[in-house]
Amino acid sequence: NEQRIAEYFHVKQSAIKIGNIPAGEALVTYYKTVIGQFAAPEYRGVELLHLDPVKLAKTIKPNATEVKELYELSKDSYNRAETREISQIIYPNMEAAQAAYEQSLKGTTFAELLAEQNIDVANATLGVFAKDGLPNKKMADVVFDLDINKISMPVDIGLGIVLLSVSNITPADIKTFDDVKQIIEDKESLRLAIDKIYELRDDVEDEIASGATFKEVADKLSIDLTIISTLNNQLQDIEGGKVSIPAVNGLAQSIFTSEIDLDNDPLDTISGGLIWFRVVNIIETRDKKLTEVKDDVTALWQSTETDKALLAKAKELSKKGGDIDALSNTFADAIKTTTELKRGDLNVDFSAQAIKALFSVKQGEYTYIAGNVNDEKSYIVMQLKEIIAPNNQDVDNINNQIRQAMAPNLAATLIESYVENNKQVYGTAINQPLIDRIVGEQPQY
């Protein structure tokens, strides 16, 4: 919890002078040292054959009888069961529950019964359930026979005696055949299209094996053909425009690892289709001529030299030290003072790297770190002015926090060890009658 305060100023690039931009042979010489940053990427021309089940499905009409049969087989999946919002009050015995139930018959509401037990509504609410979603069959039968806001007779659910109430009912939503006919037809058309694609696969492979071009295959079998004249590994054409290719896992990588004119295995699409590709042209990577990138090269030179000059000046000033007003005289408009900073603080004006640097020096010393002022490169030169040590109370608080953080895990570990030891000593067994009683599968006496 040690805190530090610093004074600092920015050395901005506008206050730094660099040499003249190289020209002529000097620029050529510089370009040779950075030419690797200006290499033109490899471009490839590629042809794609695409069997798309979604498109093919639009041409397939499924058999009406089969669609009806599919509805009968799967109609439950289209229906939404009735759900109920359920609440319960647990009583220690049947007598207490019966007494509360008799109160309800005289007009006492469920909310009033909760208040008598000092139970919040939120704590009494079990949630929203369909009948088959409740773990206890007896509870499910009782709850789904209740009218809204009515209170059940006492129910023994195995773990206790409860009164149940339903605060909201969402009716079942039953879909007729006509309601879902189009959905089923679309699904069946897509399934048939995928089957058809794998029949067409053999035809495509036979045509390719016979030496047919992709265009000939596309024309003969009515398959989509896409021709991409140039494509780099950033999915751009030679003019820098974006190129769209099918969203197929591994397609781009496969295009750039394939040999030219090689017949490649088809790739599976996400929708169940197939893609064949053939690389028809390769433009090798090359170093661009200086005339193509002159502006970019001079900009790189300026940026690099500015970075060097800023770093050198920040080092020089930090090493020189002394009075910060005199030190910043020709470089900064104003000297700023930080707030009290701790290690790991998040600060709008001071980056995490700057705070880390501040905690690496002694009081009165200078340090520096790269910064930014209104999108202008700079270096922050800072002097550590004050160190505020944590008091003993702060240390005690930290120790207490550590102990509190460790306690739950330690307790859980001890309990787990205790249980495991007892299992080894006494063994374990399943009380099946009790489980049956809890889930309501066995008569309760």
* Token code pair at residue 304: 């690099």
Within a domain: 302 = yes
Q: Which helix (H) or strand (E) holds 10?
A: strand 3-12
Last residue of a domain, one of 267, 284, 301: 284
Residue ranges with strand state E in 104-180:
125-130, 155-156, 161-170
Would the pLDDT of 238 be above 90? Answer: yes
Range of the domain at 114: 80-170
Percent of the chain with pLDDT over 90: 75
- Say if 248 falls within a structural domain: yes
Domain check: are 400 and 426 in the same one? yes
Residue 177 and residue 44: Cα distance in Å, rounded? 52
User: Mean pLDDT, the chain, as a whole number?
Assistant: 89
pLDDT tens per residue, range 376-426:
888 999 999 999 998 765 556 666 677 777 766 776 677 777 677 666 666
φ, ψ for residue 253, nearest 5 deg: -65, -40
Question: Do residue 185 and residue 139 come from a single domain?
Answer: no
- Would you say residue 11 lies in a domain? yes
Same structural domain, 341 and 307:
yes
122 with 108, same domain? yes
Q: Encode pLDDT of 179-212 as tens digits.
A: 999 999 999 999 999 999 988 999 999 999 999 9
Q: Could you tell me the sign of the dihedral formed by the alpha carbons of 431, 434, 439, 444, in that order?
A: positive
Q: Is the dihedral of CA 56, 60, 66, 70 positive or negative?
A: positive
45 belongs to a structural domain = no
**pTM metric for this prediction:** 0.54
Claim to verify: residue 215 and residue 130 sit in the same structural domain: no
3-state secondary structure of 230: coil
Task: Write the pLDDT tens digit of every residue in 291-345.
Answer: 999 999 999 999 999 999 999 999 999 999 999 999 988 877 789 999 999 988 8
Are 157 and 212 within one domain?
no
**Domain membership flag for residue 201:** yes
Domains in the chain, number: 4
Is residue 350 very low, low, confident or very high in pLDDT (cuts 50, 70, 90)? confident
Same domain, 193 and 272: yes
Token readout for 41 is 């990427």
- Which residues have C-beta within 8 Å of that of residue 293, sequence separation ≥ 6? 38
For 143-174, how does the pLDDT look when each residue is reduced to its tens digit (9 = 90+)?
999 999 999 999 998 888 999 999 999 999 99
- Cα angle value 367/372/376 (rounded, 5°): 130
pLDDT at 80 over 50: yes
- Whether 161 and 186 map to the same domain: the answer is no
> Residue 431 — pLDDT band, cuts 50, 70, 90?
low
CA distance 192 to 108: 62
Averaged pLDDT, 435-439: 56
R_g of the chain, CA atoms, integer Å: 38
- Distance CA(180)–CA(172), nearest Å, equals 16
Residue 428 maps to a domain: yes
pLDDT at residue 354 tops 50: yes
Residue 69: inside a domain = no
Has residue 346 got a pLDDT over 90?
A: no
CB 262 within 8 A of CB 278: yes
Q: Residue 425 has what pLDDT?
A: 62
DSSP state of 220: H
Statement to judge: residues 373 and 414 lie in one domain: no
Confidence of residue 445 (pLDDT cuts 50, 70, 90): very low
Confidence (pLDDT) at 72: 92
Residue 28 reports pLDDT greater than 80: yes
Which residues on adjacent β-strands are paired with residue 89?
Answer: 163
Q: Is the dihedral of CA 358, 360, 362, 367 positive or negative?
A: negative
**pLDDT above 90 for 76:** no
- Is residue 177 within 8 A of residue 69, CB to CB? The reply is no
